[in-house]
């Protein structure tokens, strides 16, 4: 029986030794795994610390550009309204002056130029002797 207990004790010692060796291997690999995770966390933290300020600056620039674009669009809207009003006023001016221009052309076409020329000639004939008389009198 003692021999049986010795065999069991030796067997238990072997099992415990094997368990201890396996635990040491697990601990070693867990340390490696922990170091890798810590390294990845450090790299991630450094990347975040570098990227966040750049993202913040970029967002700030985007906001300022969006504000400027909005202001520009408002200015374009005002300019478009102004151009439309100017166009309407130009159309009104052309319409109003078109009627006056048509009336002026009609009035000019109704003038009797031959009669006007004859009247001027008659006036020259009448004033000519009077002018020569005044010239002779010295005035």
| Encoded tokens for 32 | 């490696």
Q: Where are the alpha helices (DSSP H) in the chain?
A: 2-110, 113-137
Q: Which long-range contacts (CB under 8 A, 24 or more apart) does 113-121 make?
A: none
Q: What is the pLDDT of residue 139?
A: 58
Measured distance CA(97)–CA(104) in Å, rounded: 10
pTM: 0.42
The dihedral sign for the CA sequence 32, 38, 44, 50: negative
- Digit-coded pLDDT (tens) for 61-116: 999 999 999 999 999 999 999 999 988 888 888 777 777 777 888 887 778 788 88
The chain-wide mean pLDDT, for the chain, equals 87
Instruction: Please provide the distance, in angstroms rounded to a whole number, between the alpha carbons at the two ends of the chain.
Output: 177
Measured distance CA(46)–CA(99) in Å, rounded: 80
Among 8-22, 65-79, 123-137, the minimum mean pLDDT is found in 123-137
pLDDT band (50, 70, 90) for residue 2: low
The SS3 call for residue 138 is coil
Q: Which residue has the higher pLDDT, 113 or 45?
A: 45
The dihedral sign for the CA sequence 68, 73, 77, 80: positive
């Amino acid at each position: 029986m003692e021999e049986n207990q010795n065999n069991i004790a030796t067997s238990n010692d072997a099992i415990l030794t094997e368990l201890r060796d396996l635990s040491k291997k697990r601990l070693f690999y867990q340390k490696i795994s922990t170091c890798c995770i810590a390294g990845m966390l450090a790299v991630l933290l450094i990347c975040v610390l570098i990227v966040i300020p750049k993202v913040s600056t970029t967002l700030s620039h985007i906001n300022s550009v969006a504000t400027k674009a909005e202001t520009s669009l408002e200015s374009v809207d005002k300019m478009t309204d102004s151009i439309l009003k100017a166009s309407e006023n130009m159309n009104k001016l052309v319409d109003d002056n078109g009627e006056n221009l048509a009336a002026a052309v009609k009035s000019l076409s109704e003038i009797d130029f031959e009669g006007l020329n004859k009247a001027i000639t008659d006036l020259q004939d009448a004033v000519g002797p009077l002018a020569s008389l005044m010239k002779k009198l010295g005035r």
